Chains A and B, each alone.
Chain A
Amino acid sequence: MALFVQVLVSGILLGGLYALMALGLALVWGVLNIVNLSHGALIMLGAYVTYFLVTGAHFDPFAALPIAAAVLFAIGYAIQRGILNLVIRGPMFNTLLITFGIEVVLMYLAQLWFSADYRTINPGYAGASYAVGGITIPFVQLIAFAIAIGLTAAMWLFLLHSRTGRGIRAAAQNLVAARLYGVSPKRIYALTFGLGAALAGVAGGLYGTVSQINPYIGGALTAKSFVIAIIGGLDNPLWVIVGGLFLGVIESLTALFIGPTYRDVASFGILVLILIVRPSGLLGRTA
């Protein structure tokens, strides 16, 4: 029983991080109708920015996160403004291809600059943990979880209540009408993509504190983000948290009861099942 609860807790902690990873993808998808295949590569870059701030400038990993977010925001803004806005009215399939191309370029740039070595971001307190009634809660994972949930909630408030957030939602619903009300599509699209990238940057920094990083982690992280976005639907950031927690728990339980090698069968199997049963996502609106 204790083992079961422990696995459940680990799954939930992992799920919070998953939710943050998926949030940027879901935001860009929902607003720009672009499935950003380079999302995982942006997470990877965020992890490296954090890593170099920690090892090179002796930052605390969590203090480095805002800088990682800022750097990734700039990269994301530039990618949308300089490349994606050139093809965004083309066939949906072309945006898939072009974001894949960007992913390839980012991956090999990272390999060229940072080498293919595995790296980890290790704060001094990496081994610290709380013990609550026989259950161990690693300190770093708990902080990562809190930041992930906090950011997701902040994102929700931002979209709901700020002027820019309303502009983003207006652009998602009806671009022509939004334009009439003074929303500049070019700017709002670049801003949204920048925000998505910034979220990916933070997620990457947190990922680096709990897991190993190398230039090739992007693909799998993009795929997981998809799964969560599909489970949660694209309408509301709070559902993304539910999607992330769900996936984290399912993965942990699968690893416990069936075997660690079946983890990916479970997560991607769920994706396929959900799409077949509910083509617009488990919790999303019906198409």
Chain B
Amino acid sequence: MKKIVRGVVLCVIVALLAALPWMGNTVLVQFGINLLLLATLAQGWNIIGGYTGYPSFGNSVFYGLGAYGVAIAMVQYHLPFWAGMLIGLGLGVAFAGLLGLAVLRLKGHYFAICTLGLALVMTAIVSNLEIAGSNIGLVLPLHTGEALFYELALGLLVLTTLTIFWLSRSRFGVGLIAIRENEEGAAVLGVNTTLYKILAFMLSAAFTALAGGIYAYYITFIDPAGVFDVVLNVKMIIMAVFGGPGSVLGPVIGAFVLSATSEVLATKVTSIASMFFGVVIVVAVVFMPRGIIDLVKNLRQAGWRYFIGNVRAHRL
């Protein structure tokens, strides 16, 4: 019964979100597109970082590849947007597959840093590619109206979230969680860990690349520093971790809460807003390291002791 209520509530929320462009207010729609794309990125990261436990700092590469797939297809070859999306998707997934073979053997810090290095290498390489407009970037054809992009972004977020919902109750998803908790143990129990990890990386890349493609056509101008931005990668991680990594709705909630907060702050106190973001990360990691989802689950029982408990558990 509770599950049905929850499902109905979620459907109503999605319907309300979908209706937003028809209620006017362009500013809100523009904010919405950015927010929905960020939430998709957080969800994409959730698959590899939250479920599989491999903290990728290289997901911005897939975002950039998706964006450049669309941009190069539309600008250099005059293909339609949809073809560009497919190309970007293919680039992102193929790259994740190839790369996964090499880097998913690394653990912990080494994996995080190797993927970060990759993001930096890709930025530098694309800045030197003529077909990608070198470091000047590419200007895409103009489009008509933001509503389409808003609905696309919403659709992609729903699709990503449904995939994670499926993941959380499938054999595949359980295998990923087993890898996160104890990789050797998972292998002993018959999980093909290499295959599972690479598939998770490719799935994560697919959604991230699609988000990049939508962004490229929507913003109509991309350059290497913009779409391969490491800060974007950190943002998606923070949103996922703030909401609750390894949960179905946590990253979406994290993205909505953090985006809304920073948007409100940016209009009130511009220069402090970015710094506030840093303070939020520090405070959140100290007091609620398992995210909002875990906080909501435990706050009612433990009250303020929940925060003290977290600090006790992890301090020296």
Query: Contact: B127 with A261, CB < 8 Å?
Result: yes
B16 contacts partner chain A, Cβ-Cβ < 8 Å:
no
Answer yes or no: A227 CB below 8 A from chain B CBs.
yes
List residues 224-257 of chain A with CB under 8 A from any CB of chain B. 226-227, 230
Q: Which residues of B contact A150 (CB under 8 A)?
A: none
Cβ of A143 < 8 Å from any Cβ of B? no
Pairwise interchain contact B112-A101, C-beta atoms closer than 8 A? no
Contact A275 B106 (CB under 8 A): yes
Known: A271-B113, A272-B121. 18 other contacts (CB 8 A): A33-B109, A86-B311, A86-B316, A89-B314, A89-B316, A90-B313, A98-B281, A101-B281, A104-B275, A104-B278, A105-B275, A105-B279, A108-B271, A261-B124, A261-B127, A272-B103, A279-B105, A279-B106
Cross-chain contact A108 with B275 (CB below 8 angstroms): yes
Residues on B with C-beta less than 8 A from A103 are 278
CB <8 Å contact, A109 and B275 = yes
Task: Select A268's contact among B121, B282, B286, B313, beta carbons within 8 Å.
Answer: B121
Alpha-carbon distance between A88 and B316 when the two chains are bound, in angstroms = 6
Give the contacting residue for A94; candidates B108, B117, B120, B289; CB below 8 A.
Answer: B289
A–B Cβ pairs within 8 angstroms, 20 of them? A33-B109, A88-B315, A89-B314, A94-B314, A96-B55, A101-B281, A104-B277, A105-B275, A107-B278, A108-B275, A227-B117, A261-B124, A261-B127, A265-B128, A268-B120, A275-B106, A275-B113, A275-B117, A276-B103, A279-B110
- By the criterion CB–CB under 8 Å, are A35 and B314 in contact? no
Q: How many residues of B contact A (CB 8 A)?
A: 46
A-B pairs, 3 with minimum CB distance: A104-B278, A101-B281, A90-B314
Tell me, in angstroms, the Cα distance from A230 to B117 when the chains sit together. 11
Q: How many residues of A contact B (CB 8 A)?
A: 50
- List of A residues within 8 angstroms of B112 by Cβ: 35, 93, 96
Tell me, in angstroms, the Cα distance from A263 to B128 when the chains sit together: 11
B253 an interface residue at 8 Å Cβ cutoff? no
- Name the prevailing secondary structure of the A interface residues: helix
B214 within 8 A of A: no
A96, B109: Cα distance in complex, Å: 9
Chain A residue numbers with a CB within 8 Å of B286 are: 83, 86-87, 98
Q: Tell me if B220 is interfacial: C-beta within 8 Å of chain A.
A: no
Is the CB–CB distance between A111 and B271 below 8 Å?
yes
Chain B residues with CB under 8 A of A94: 241, 285, 289, 314
Q: Does B147 contact A (CB under 8 A)?
A: no
What's the Cα separation between A92 and B108 when bound, in Å? 7
In the complex, the answer to whether A86 meets B315 with C-beta atoms within 8 Å is: yes
As a 0/1 sequence over residues 162 to 186 of chain B, the CB contacts with chain A under 8 angstroms (1 = contact) are: 0000000000000000000000000
